[in-house]
Amino acid sequence: MQFNLFSKWPIKSGYPFLIAGPCSAESEEQVLLTAKELMKTPVNLFRAGVWKPRTRPNSYEGSGEQGLKWLREAKLQTGLPITVEVASPAHVELALKYGIDVLWIGARTMVSPFAVQSIADSLSGIDIPVIVKNPINPDLDLWIGGLERIYNNGIKQVAAIHRGFSTYDKSKYRNKPLWEIPLELKRRFPDLPLLCDPSHIGGKRDLLLPIAQKALDLNFDGLMVEVHPSPDNALSDSEQQITPSAYSDLLNQLIIRKRNAEDSFAFSSLEELRNIIDKLDEHLLETLAERMEYAEKIGLFKKENDIAIFQPERWNDVIKRVKLIAAEKNLSEDIILKIFDFIQKESIRKQSGVMYGQSEIIKIKSH
């Protein structure tokens, strides 16, 4: 997949790309007031849900088509482009009817490939940006699958939003960030715009700033924040919504770092340091290759002298020794043990190759 960058979006954007607005469009006054207040702060896209996926029935389930009319009015009065959540082809049809600029697929919908595919099918031949939240369960492949379903159906303006993951164990977060998952997505698809939704990760106002800051420090492309004129009275997600002025304070408090060090003095210093790292990586690999040559020599010796390949005492001695050295050199024991687990398994693999030939190699899975 080759994703488009925000620079190719029909929406003007700076950095970070900012989406803000209420969890739900509750009334015309609430929508218009929020949009007008947000116009005084940096914002690229106005968000609001009109169909709300709720955990239990008989909760507020959104304003539906009427909400779309309020959003259209907000766009007319402020010029802000609008995004809403869609969960079915019927939602897509209505959103398009009311001139919604960007669609987003929510975390609950993302767990169902049938639902995502039906949304993708309903978008055939339509050129509208789609933002894909992560599924509520921590499953990177499912997230990528959802992005692919949309992208493969011809929607080329795709972005992803990290909104945290639901886990059975409790934590201070409403949805655990598990940052390694969005980072792996970004590593695999560097061109895919990746935003963070600190509101649904935190679930509480005081967590928004540290989460948003962390996202920017990790080079996320933007943020989606829930903003409501009177958060305590919100009909959904009241604990995590913030007022437009708190949103403005949040943005002021964020440290916006350079995304890379190009065109600055810092760049040449960074390059120098990176060159040293590259040299050290070469040394590491040379040393590793040499270590493996010796492992093979030992394999040959064991073969000629009928000695078993796997010697648990030796394995444990190596681990004991590297633990001591790691402590001396202030290296994390956990990481060093993982690395040496791989190295020793690779040594056994090499030695078994010497003993039996390539076809009978012993592979030990790493955990």
Q: Where along the sequence are the contacts to Mn ion (CB under 5 A)? A: 23, 237
Closest CA to 28 of 54, 50, 53: 50
Q: Judged by CB under 6 A, does residue 146 bind ligand PEP?
A: no
> Tokens standing for 276?
């040293």
Residue 106 touches which of Mn ion, ligand PEP, none (Cβ within 5-8 Å per kind): ligand PEP
Q: Cβ closer to ligand PEP: 106 or 244?
A: 106
Q: Which of 6, 17, 21, 49 binds ligand PEP (CB under 6 A)?
A: 49
For the bound state, the minimum distance from the C-beta of residue 224 to ligand PEP, rounded and expressed in Å, comes to 7
Residue whose beta carbon is closest to ligand PEP:
106
Q: Judged by CB under 6 A, does residue 111 bind ligand PEP?
A: no
Closest CA to 54 of 98, 28, 30, 23: 23
Residue 163 touches which of ligand PEP, Mn ion, none (Cβ within 5-8 Å per kind): ligand PEP
Q: Judged by CB under 6 A, does residue 45 bind ligand PEP?
A: no
Q: Judged by CB under 6 A, does residue 174 bind ligand PEP?
A: no
- The rounded distance, in Å, linking the Cα atoms of 236 and 226 is 11
Q: Cβ closer to Mn ion: 186 or 228?
A: 228
Q: Cβ closer to ligand PEP: 173 or 344?
A: 173
Find out whether 24 and 50 touch, Cβ atoms under 8 Å: yes
3-state secondary structure of 113: helix
> Tokens standing for 210?
């540290």
For the bound state, the minimum distance from the C-beta of residue 198 to ligand PEP, rounded and expressed in Å, comes to 11
3-state secondary structure of 162: strand
Q: Judged by CB under 6 A, does residue 163 bind ligand PEP?
A: yes
Q: Which helix (H) or strand (E) holds 83?
A: strand 82-85
Q: Judged by CB under 6 A, does residue 186 bind ligand PEP?
A: no
CA distances from 102 to 26, 99, 159 (A): 20, 9, 10
For the bound state, the minimum distance from the C-beta of residue 24 to ligand PEP, rounded and expressed in Å, comes to 7
Q: Which of 18, 38, 103, 107 binds ligand PEP (CB under 6 A)?
A: 107
Residue 91 touches which of Mn ion, ligand PEP, none (Cβ within 5-8 Å per kind): none
> Tokens standing for 197?
């939704």
Using a 10 angstrom Cβ sphere, with 0-12 exposed, 13-18 middle and 19 or more buried, the burial of residue 263 is exposed
Q: Cβ closer to ligand PEP: 94 or 160?
A: 160
Q: What is the DSSP letter of 206?
A: G
- Strands 158-162 and 194-196, how do they pair? parallel
Residue 107 touches which of Mn ion, ligand PEP, none (Cβ within 5-8 Å per kind): ligand PEP
Q: Which of 149, 162, 174, 200 binds ligand PEP (CB under 6 A)?
A: 200
For the bound state, the minimum distance from the C-beta of residue 200 to ligand PEP, rounded and expressed in Å, comes to 4
Residue 111 touches which of ligand PEP, Mn ion, none (Cβ within 5-8 Å per kind): none
Residue 133 touches which of Mn ion, ligand PEP, none (Cβ within 5-8 Å per kind): ligand PEP
Strand residue runs (E) in 95-233: 102-105, 130-133, 158-162, 194-196, 222-226
- The rounded distance, in Å, linking the Cα atoms of 234 and 30 is 10
For the bound state, the minimum distance from the C-beta of residue 95 to Mn ion, rounded and expressed in Å, comes to 17
Q: Which of 91, 133, 149, 228 binds ligand PEP (CB under 6 A)?
A: 133
Find out whether 107 and 163 touch, Cβ atoms under 8 Å: yes
Residue with tokens 């599924």: 135
Q: Cβ closer to Mn ion: 174 or 350?
A: 174
- The rounded distance, in Å, linking the Cα atoms of 154 and 148 is 10
Number of residues that bind ligand PEP (CB under 6 A): 9
- The rounded distance, in Å, linking the Cα atoms of 99 and 121 is 19
Please name the amino acid found at residue 25.
A
Q: Which of 16, 67, 106, 231 binds ligand PEP (CB under 6 A)?
A: 106
Q: Which residues bind ligand PEP (CB under 6 A)?
A: 23, 49, 53, 106-108, 133, 163, 200
